[in-house]
């Protein structure tokens, strides 16, 4: 993937706008968990974990959608596209078994794995890896700030 900057296909404006809007719940929930009033920290953590689960489900759905567009969809890719949503649900439901630091670490890890898959794959539009890098960075930073707070608790 050695494309020259002048040869880059631009990300459509609507995709950028809505992509950036998807970061707002990460930033707000993480901010409330880290810096909000003590009574809001628990609900903010639940919101951050729930939204992370929803976004992993979305990303798995995108990966599945790219695959079913093929004449012969690959079984392995379809199956692997289910893992991020399942991991999100397991991490979300693991609140009783795992502490917040483990949950946030798990989400951070799964987002990074999904990003790695998305940027090394040649599926979808040429601009997709750049967009995924920016959006994953925003989500990962929000999760990392919340993780730092959870480790301090």
Sequence ranges of the domains in the chain: 26-152
Hey, how many other C-beta atoms are within 10 angstroms of the C-beta on 75?
9
96 and 125 Cβ atoms separated by less than 8 Å: no
> Given this model, what pLDDT does residue 39 score?
96
Q: What is the C-alpha to C-alpha distance for residues 92 and 54, in angstroms, rounded to an integer? A: 10
Hey, how many other C-beta atoms are within 10 angstroms of the C-beta on 142?
27
> Given this model, what pLDDT does residue 112 score?
98
Give residue-wise pLDDT tens across range 96-122.
888 999 999 999 999 999 999 999 988
Cβ-based neighbours of 138, under 8 Å, separated by 6 or more: 23, 26, 27
Low-confidence ranges of the chain (pLDDT < 70): 1-7
Against a cut of 0.85, is the pTM above it?
A: yes
């Amino acid at each position: 993937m050695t494309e020259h900057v002048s040869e880059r296909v631009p990300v459509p404006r609507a995709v950028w706008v809505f992509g950036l809007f998807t970061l707002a719940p990460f930033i707000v929930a993480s901010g409330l968990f880290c810096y909000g009033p003590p009574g809001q920290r628990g609900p903010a953590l639940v919101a951050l974990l729930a939204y992370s689960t929803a976004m992993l489900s979305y990303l798995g759905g995108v990966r599945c959608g790219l695959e079913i567009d093929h004449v012969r969809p690959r079984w392995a890719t379809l199956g692997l596209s289910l893992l991020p949503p399942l991991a999100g649900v397991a991490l979300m439901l693991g609140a009783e078994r795992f502490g917040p630091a483990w949950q946030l670490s798990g989400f951070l890890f799964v987002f990074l794995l999904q990003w790695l898959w998305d940027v090394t794959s040649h599926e979808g539009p040429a601009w997709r890896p750049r967009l995924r890098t920016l959006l994953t960075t925003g989500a990962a930073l929000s999760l990392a700030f919340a993780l730092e707070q959870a480790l301090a608790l």
